Copies of this chain bind each other. A is one copy, B any other.
Amino acid sequence: MHVLIIGAAGMVGQKLTRRLVADGHLDDRAITALTLADVVPAPRPAGFGGRTTVLTVDLAAPETAAMLTGARPDVIFHLAAIVSGEAEADFEKGYRINLDGTRGLFEAIRIAGLAAPYRPRVVFTSSIAVFGAPFPERIGDEFLLTPLTSYGTQKAIGELLLSDYSRRGIFDGIGIRLPTICVRPGRPNKAASGFFSNILREPLNGEEAVLPVSGEVRHWFASPRAAVGFLIHAATLDLAAVGPRRNLSMPGLSATVAEEIEALKRVAGERIARLIRPQPDAAIAAIVAGWPRDFDASRALALGFSAETSFDEIIRAHIDDELGGRIAA
């Protein structure tokens, strides 16, 4: 089977690629070809016996989608997006990539199917940014999508298109709303959500991290490992069981920053946790106050999606996957 990953150079895309290569199959079908598309070259995975094609392309450019679907991949992971901050700062770019790029992909699949039967599995990563305050303490599977960013709007539109194209039989699509990914590997960045990862990752590296909000702040998390698990499960799940509502809030862990720090103490010790330096930032606190705190992800859980149930697990996954099992001395 041929697997296409759009957005393959990103953090989740790279981890998904490594997992697919390690497994060698999806749902008992051997993976014989991998196409890795992104605006920058995705790393070529080591140890893959099949054919790997690395494409440096802009999804929203004319002909890109037709070229990608022309090879008729069996499974398409569509992870590519302009992130929230950039889509807010650059209105035209956000709509061009996140809306036109997604719709262009879906249209290219439809047009490929007019020539000869073609109905791939499409796994689309959506986001909890489709929800905007005010919302209930726990957001259920039937709560209204009320994005308060252009990014969230574009993801919500992608969800609607995915459902309609699936209902029409154009492809077999599933959209998964990822929790905030934690611990995000790499260097600290300027994203307002960065501190959730920074306060774990930097101390585990023996470095200081700034905490801009109070310990009572509650948010919704899953590890990069869980995110890859969602994608694999979405690619192999029997979608007849999902029905016409093709977009699902993924399971995750609802936890406060204080609980996050307590888990760090348990897993890595008090000395590591003392590297977190509180430095309140009213601007960041105001942004985070508008974010979801908890979900009732009943549908996804019933369909077999699973995530961590404690921050201890999330931290241990990071230590295993990123630090070779070792914490800074």
B164 touches A153 (CB 8 A): yes
Most B CB within 10 A of own CB, among A164, A244, A245: A164
Copies in the complex: 2
B143 touches A144 (CB 8 A): yes
For A156, list chain B residues within 8 Å (CB): 160
For A194, list chain B residues within 8 Å (CB): none
- Interface residue from B91, B144, B168, B244 paired with A132 (Cβ < 8 Å): B244
For A141, list chain B residues within 8 Å (CB): 144
B160 touches A153 (CB 8 A): yes
Most B CB within 10 A of own CB, among A153, A160, A163: A160
B168 touches A147 (CB 8 A): no
Q: How far apart sit A163 and B130, CA to CA, in the bound complex (Å)?
A: 12
22 A–B contacts from the bound complex (CB under 8 Å)? A91-B110, A141-B144, A142-B144, A144-B144, A144-B145, A144-B245, A145-B145, A145-B160, A146-B163, A146-B244, A146-B245, A147-B163, A148-B167, A148-B244, A150-B164, A150-B168, A153-B161, A153-B163, A153-B164, A156-B160, A157-B157, A157-B161
- Interface residue from B143, B150, B163, B168 paired with A142 (Cβ < 8 Å): B143
- Interface residue from B132, B147, B148, B160 paired with A147 (Cβ < 8 Å): B160
Q: How far apart sit A60 and B44, CA to CA, in the bound complex (Å)?
A: 43
Q: Which 8 A-B pairs have the closest CB atoms?
A: A153-B164, A142-B144, A157-B157, A153-B160, A156-B160, A157-B160, A150-B164, A146-B245
For A167, list chain B residues within 8 Å (CB): 148
